[in-house]
Amino acid sequence: MDMTAWIREHSWVLAPAFILTLVLFIWLKGKLAKNVEIKPVDVGIALIPFVLWMASAGIFKKVELPGLLAFETADVIVTAAAEPIDLQVSKIPVTALKADPKSSVREIPRMIASGSQVLSFTLGYSGYHAGAVWMYFNHMIGSPPFKYALILDQQGALFGLFSARKLTAILNNDNNHELLEKYPLKPFRGLPGENDVAKWHRFTQNIVNSNKAALAKVPGFVELGQAVTPRADKKRVLAQMEQLGLDWLPVIRQESGISHFQGIVERSRLTASLILDVTRELENKKQTQEN
């Protein structure tokens, strides 16, 4: 009895095989990243070897993983797998983001209502107050669209980027809940003092004083040198994420020698897009051979 026939009769073995593959994938991911989050794309990646093998073996004729890959027949894989794939990758899937500058605390409700995604700060600007910065993050963090804190230089070029949630968790004190009750957004009762939000004060002063070295040491900081362009090679971007232990990277565009922040590229969308590129190439080869 060959392997295909055996699998047909003992298909139950695919379940533990899938689980073992997923566990191995998560273990490897954990070695490369501090925080491991199981996402749908991780499960999809673990399934792909078994799906492709079963399709090529003719066990079923249609392969479809929503958002990851879809083949009409197993013949597409069988034919294309016999030849090397000259992969023509499309552009990386950039999520364009609009950055809103930190302003008066009176603007917080409006920014939450408008779904602000990025809060930007300019190095060297002296108008930032630690209490106001604390209030911005701690009230906007409850809004799902709000995800990033952007640091720009005085020319408007990207200096670096933080995950807003991670930055808030790092800079908040243990008594933060008490501070939120003492200094609510509505009714406004003033701002906490420097001693109440000491970590936020240091962070704010580093921006005011353009202390780039200190800002770069804050955990989770993603610097300009780690950013990518919209035309970057998908495989290299994915490898860069693995090396840095990140699930996203900033995307920049060059204009008059200035690196402007354009948005971010996420690991899950990038992985799905790369798999779809492979799928399209396989289907193109199948159509070429039929013609």
Instruction: Please report the pLDDT score of residue 14 as a whole number.
Output: 54
Backbone angles phi, psi at 159, to 5 degrees: -100, -45
d(CA 123, CA 136) in angstroms, rounded, equals: 18
258 Cβ neighbours under 8 A, 6+ residues apart: 155, 156, 157
pTM above 0.85, yes or no: no
Residues forming beta bridges with residue 100, ordered by sequence position: 119
d(CA 187, CA 51) in angstroms, rounded, equals: 57
Cis preceding linkage at 40, omega within 30 = no
Residue 277 · residue 251 · CB < 8 Å: no
Domains of the chain: 3-82 (no CATH), 95-266 (3.10.580)
For tokens 């490369």, name the residue: 32
Instruction: Please report the pLDDT score of residue 94 as a whole number.
Output: 81
Instruction: Please report the pLDDT score of residue 4 as a whole number.
Output: 47
Output the six-digit token pair for 56. 């090529």
Judge whether residue 129 has pLDDT over 60. yes
Q: What is the mean pLDDT of residues 176-193?
A: 93
Least confident of 57-71, 180-194, 197-211, 253-267: 57-71
* For the chain, percent of residues with pLDDT exceeding 90: 50
Q: What is the mean pLDDT of residues 100-127?
A: 92
87 Cβ neighbours under 8 A, 6+ residues apart: 277, 278, 281
Q: Pick the residue with more confidence: 121 or 2?
A: 121
